[in-house]
Chain A
Amino acid sequence: MTLLAVLVDGVIYASWLFIIAAGLTIVYGVMRILNMAHGSLYALGAYAAASLAGAWLRLGFQPMASYAVLVLAAVLVGAVVGPLVERGLLRHTYGRDEVVLVLVTYALFLVLEDLVKLAWGVESYFITEPYGLLGTVEMGTLSYPVYSGVLVLAAVLVGVGLRFGIYGTRYGKLLIAVIHDREVSATLGIDVDRIYLVTFVLGTTLAALGGALTAPTVSVVPGMGVEVIVLAFAVVVIGGLGSMPGAALGALIVGLVRSAAVHFFPQVELFSIYLVMALVLAFRPRGLFVAAEARKI
C-alpha cells in the first residue's frame, strides 16, 4: 500500500518536474545556455494563468474550458516573452563563455522577479477551480485528485510531442544538426539564428506551461520560481545536460527518491535530491545519458 503511494506520488512529482526540466534541457542542448531565469519564466506562466483563467471563470464562461485557458496562457508567455528575451538580450551574448551566459540569465532572473512584482504586486493569486473540478479517485485510504492525472498526461504529451518534433520532422533534424555543430550547420545554410529563436520560445513555453499547470494547486506568490530552478537543474544534470530522455529519467529518479524519502525517512528529504545528484555525477561524470566527448589534442 505504502509502496503504491510512493509510486503514485513519485510519478506525479516527476511529471511536474519533467515539464519544467524539458524546457531547460532543450535550451541548453541547442543554445548551450543553462537558463537560471527558467524559474522566473515558470512563475510568469503561473501568474499569466492565474490572471487569464481567473478572468475566464469570473466572467462565467464554461469552467471545463479553463484547462485550455491555462495552456493558452503558457503559449502566450512563450510567444511574447521568449522572442523579447532572445532577440533583446541573449542574442548579444552568444559566443561568450558558458559561465558568463549563466550569469546573464541570473541577472535576467533578478530583473524578471522585480518586473513580475511590479506587474502583479506581492499579493497571492488563486485559481482553485480547475484543481477540484474533476473530482478525486480513491486508492485505499488515500485519495488523489484527478487533476494530478492531467498533469501526468500533460508530461507524457510533452515528452512524446518533443520526441516526434525532434526526430520526426524536418525542423527537428535541422535542430539536431545545430546541436552537433553550430558552425558547420551555418555553413550548410541552416538558419541558426532562427533555430535559436524557435528553441528559446519553445523552452519558455514549456517553463510557462509548468507554471500554468501548477497555478491551480498553489497560491501564486513572488519567489515561487526560485526553488524550481535548482530542482530543475538537479534533474537535468542527473539525466545529462541537453538530453531529453535524460530529463525524463532524471525527473523520474528525483520524483521517486523524494517520495520514498517523504514516506520512509522524512528527515532526509531536504538533501535527498542533492545526494542523488552527487552520487550520479560521481559515477557518471556527465550524467546518465551523455556520451563522453572526444578529448581535443
Chain B
Amino acid sequence: MIGIPQSPKSPLAALLVASSLAALAPARAQADEAKFRIGVVTFLSGAAAGPFGVPARNGAEVLAEAINAGKVPAPYQKPGFGGRPVELVFLDEAGGTTKQVSEYRDLVQRQNVDAVIGYISSGDCLAIAPVAEELKKLTIFFDCGTPRIFEDASYKYVFRASSHAAMDNIAAAFYVTDVLPGARKIAGINQNYAWGQDSWSDFENSMKKLKSGVEVTTSQMPKLLAGQYGAEISALMAGSPDVIHSSFWGGDLDAFVLQAVPRGALKKSTAVLTCGETATHKLAGQIPDGTIIGARGPHGAFAPDVELNRFFRAAYQDRYVLYPNYPAYHMSQALLGLKAAYEKAQGSGTAAPTPDQIIAAFEGLTFDSPSGPIRMALGKGHQAVEGTVYGQAKTVDGKLTFVNVKHYPAEKVNPPEGVKSADWIQAGFKPAK
C-alpha cells in the first residue's frame, strides 16, 4: 500500500468529539437563575397523546401561566413559586424506557431543570425512579398508575401526587356491590399489558372478597391498540355476564364502546369503565344509560364544586374549549403540590429554598387541588392518596350526566402505609389501625 496508512480510528474519534461538541452547543448556558425550570414529560405523539398527554400538557400550560400571573385562587395567590416565575420545558414521553431515561438525564444534567414533572406510562415511572435517585433530582410522577413504585421500593427524590391504580379497581368493586347487589357473573376486557393485567386482577380479587359466589365468565386481554374487538365482544356476550369490567383508555376504549353498543353488549351487561371519563367528552350519546364510569379520582365531571376547581375548569375551557379531563387534573395536582411544598419550605423568608428543603416540606404534605385536598400519606410521605368517585351515565337531552354518584374516602379504598395493595385486598380491606 502506498502512502501513509491513516488509522481508521481518527474518523471515529473525530466524530465523537465533534458530535459531542455539536450537541453541547444548544445546551442553554447557565439558565436564568431567577426562574424555576420544570421539565414536563407527557405523551405528545402516539396513541396516548390525544386522551392523556396533550390534555395534561394543556393543563400544565394554562396553570403555569396563571401561577406566574398570580391568578390562581387561594391558597395559591402568590405569583410564581414564592415569587419566582416558573418555566416549563416540554418533552415527548414516546419512544420507550431507554429513550426516556436518556432524555431524563439530558433534562437534568444538561438542561439543568430544577424539577421534573411527568410520566403517564408505569414502565417509564419504574425506570425513571432509580435514575432520579441517582441524580438527586426532585421528580414528581403525575399520572402513572402502578402501585409498585412505592410498594416495592422507597425513594427520597421521587413523589407521586395522585393515587395509584389499585384504588380505581377496589373502588369499582365497591361501587358494583353497592349499586348492583345482584351481580354475580363478571367478565373483563383489558389491554394485554401491565396496566390492564393489574386492573383486572385487582378488580377480580376485590369482587371475590366482597361477595361469595362471584363467577368469571371470561377475561379478554386483547393487544394494546388492537382496534378490532368483534370476536372479544362475541366472547363477552356469550357468557351473558352481569358486569363487564374494562380499564381501556383512549382510542381502544372508543373503539370498544362503538363496536359493542350497536350489538347490545352493553345493554345486557353493565360496563364498568374505570377510565371512562376521558371518553365521555366525545362519546356522549353512545354510552348506554347505567354504564359505570370512573375518572381515577374526583376529577373532571366528578370534581368538587370549589373555587380552585371552578377556576381551573374556566381557565382550561377558555383556551381549549373542552373541559379538562382527569390527566389534566392529575397534572394540576403535581404542579400545585410542588408549589405548595416550595412555598412551605420558603416559609416567611424570600430566599429560594434548597431542593432538600422542598423535599422535606413535600413529605407528608396535605395540599389543596382542583380535585380537593390531597394527602401525601403513603410511601413514607411520597405517595398521594385521594378519595375517588364512581357514577352511572345517564343521557339527558343528548347530554351525558351522572346519577348514583358515590364518593369513597381515601382510607376506604387505599391500603394503609406499609401494606401492599394486593395483600390488602386479600386480607379483606382492613382499615388502618
- Does A269 lie at the interface of the complex (its beta carbon under 8 Å from any beta carbon of B)? yes
A263 & B262 in contact (Cβ 8 Å cutoff): no
From A5, A113, A214, A223, give the contact of B234 (CB < 8 A): A5
A270 & B227 in contact (Cβ 8 Å cutoff): no
CB-based nearest B residue for A126 = B282
Q: What's the tally of chain A residues with a CB closer than 8 Å to chain B?
A: 49
Given A16-B228, A262-B231, A113 contacting B45 (CB threshold 8 A): yes
- Does A245 lie at the interface of the complex (its beta carbon under 8 Å from any beta carbon of B)? no
B225 & A2 in contact (Cβ 8 Å cutoff): no
- Does A144 lie at the interface of the complex (its beta carbon under 8 Å from any beta carbon of B)? yes
Interface stretch (choices A47-55, A128-136, A183-191, A289-297)? A128-136
- Does B251 lie at the interface of the complex (its beta carbon under 8 Å from any beta carbon of A)? yes
Given A227-B225, A262-B231, A270-B223, A222 contacting B45 (CB threshold 8 A): yes
A223 & B47 in contact (Cβ 8 Å cutoff): yes
A222 & B47 in contact (Cβ 8 Å cutoff): yes
Give per-residue flags for B41-59: 1 if the beta carbon is below 8 A from chain A beta carbons, else 0: 0001111011101100000
Most buried by B among A131, A148, A216, A223: A223
- Does B421 lie at the interface of the complex (its beta carbon under 8 Å from any beta carbon of A)? no
Q: What's the tally of chain B residues with a CB closer than 8 Å to chain A?
A: 40
Min C-beta distance of B409 to chain A, whole Å: 34
CB-based nearest B residue for A123 = B50
B45 & A13 in contact (Cβ 8 Å cutoff): no
Min C-beta distance of A271 to chain B, whole Å: 9
CB-based nearest A residue for B219 = A266
A141 & B46 in contact (Cβ 8 Å cutoff): no
- Does B264 lie at the interface of the complex (its beta carbon under 8 Å from any beta carbon of A)? yes
Q: Which residues of B contact A144 (CB under 8 A)?
A: 263
User: Which residues of B (234-282) have their CB < 8 Å from a CB of A?
Assistant: 234-235, 237-238, 240, 250-251, 254-255, 258-259, 261-264, 282
Min C-beta distance of B57 to chain A, whole Å: 10
- Does B308 lie at the interface of the complex (its beta carbon under 8 Å from any beta carbon of A)? no
A219 & B282 in contact (Cβ 8 Å cutoff): yes
Min C-beta distance of A295 to chain B, whole Å: 37
Binding site for A on B (CB under 8 A): 44-47, 49-51, 53-54, 192, 218-223, 225-228, 230-232, 234-235, 237-238, 240, 250-251, 254-255, 258-259, 261-264, 282, 286
Binding site for B on A (CB under 8 A): 1-2, 5-6, 8-10, 12-13, 16, 113-114, 117, 122-124, 126, 128, 131-132, 136, 141-145, 147-148, 214, 216-224, 226-228, 258-259, 262-263, 266-267, 269-270
